Amino acid sequence: MDFELSAEQREIQALARELAEAEIEPHAAAWDREHRFPRELFGRLAELGLMAVCIPEDLGGAGADFLSYILVLEELSRADAGVGVAVAVHTSATTLPLVRFGTDEQKKELVPPLARGERIGAFALTEAGSGSDAAALRTRAEPDGDGWRITGVKQWTTNGAYAGTFLVFARGEAGISAFVLDAETEGLKPTGEHTKLGLHSSSTTDLVLDGAYAPRARLLGEEGKGFHIAMATLDGGRIGIAAQALGIARAAYELSRGYALERRQFGQRIADFQAIQWKLADMATELDAARLLVYRAAWLRDRGEPHGEAGAKAKLYVSSVARRHTGEAIQILGGYGYTKEFPAERYYRDAKITEIYEGTSEIQRLVIARSILGLGERAVPTPA
């Protein structure tokens, strides 16, 4: 069993770390304060190949493996989790489904602009009445000539305000189907930028679809197979969110360790107190376990092996580690941790969402339980 990263993986990891430390981390507090994501950063990420790490070279990507992409997400999220999730949704929830399920014509037309960062991707599945129960979505796709008119409202659309390409799921005569729509499509409008607890540097909007037209050339995969596409996308996406949580947890641990070695009380460093040592020991142990779960899930995906259970385990565990570690960081920093003078409070706010989106922790437990008990996939109901 080899736990070493390859030379290429280490190179990509180092590239992402260098960019994150030099061009993201110094600005993260300001972006958080201003609730702003600098669109120009996407261009810089694309220039270095970090917007399409695991996209095939002939489609404009770097042609690296999925684990390399996960390493990038970890590094970006350590600096700013909002940037991490923006890249995750763009890559694993929009571009990769096009690579996996698209026709040759769709790949050639749609993937290169995404790989170059000229267009940003967004994933539009969730609705007000169908969050965890994604199969209950009510957005309609009504036949119109050689295509469909799509009507409905999507919620919690990451990258919504600046996305150029939307992967939209709607219900038609054959069941749920997936469609790829341009931001310029008449009848498609992102609206209602949400003010969130954390991830202030990423956009989260609703998406109003008022008869938006999708020609047959923009149907992704087979008609009626959209739910399968959505679930397959989430299987990989959960590994990405686990990597985001890993980056947050790592940032909290590194901040806590550094502070404990410098802060003095009662004539000595607080790192010399057993209470702090035990906290840091637990954090270091959980961080190693979290990293192994995430990397193994990505490794399984790269090998073409089933990875849904592994991804769910990684997301379930690592998101809880991120929540605990960010809380411990505030505790170790004391009063300073509760202020914006240090990033601990931002880490704390950013961490919580990793237990919620791309499937709540409760949903991850259901996925794991069904897998280990051999209960099979959930049936897809048809709303009345």
* Active site members: 358
CA 213 to chain centre: 28
Whose CA is closest to 167, among 120, 117, 104?
120
SS3 readout for the chain: CCCCCCHHHHHHHHHHHHHHHHHHHHHHHHHHHHCCCCCHHHHHHHHCCCCCCCCCHHHCCCCCCHHHHHHHHHHHHHHCHHHHHHHHHHHHHHHHHHHHHCCHHHHHHHHHHHHCCCCCEEEECCECCECCCHHHCCCEEEECCCEEEEEEEEEEEECCCCCCEEEEEEEECCEEEEEEEECCCCCEEEECCCCCCCCCCCCEEEEEEEEEEEEHHHEECCCCCHHHHHHHHHHHHHHHHHHHHHHHHHHHHHHHHHHHHHCEECCEEHHHCHHHHHHHHHHHHHHHHHHHHHHHHHHHHHCCCCCHHHHHHHHHHHHHHHHHHHHHHHHHHHHHHHCCCCCHHHHHHHHHHHHCCCCCHHHHHHHHHHHHCCCCCCCCCCCC
Residue 38, number of CB atoms within 10 A of its CB: 16
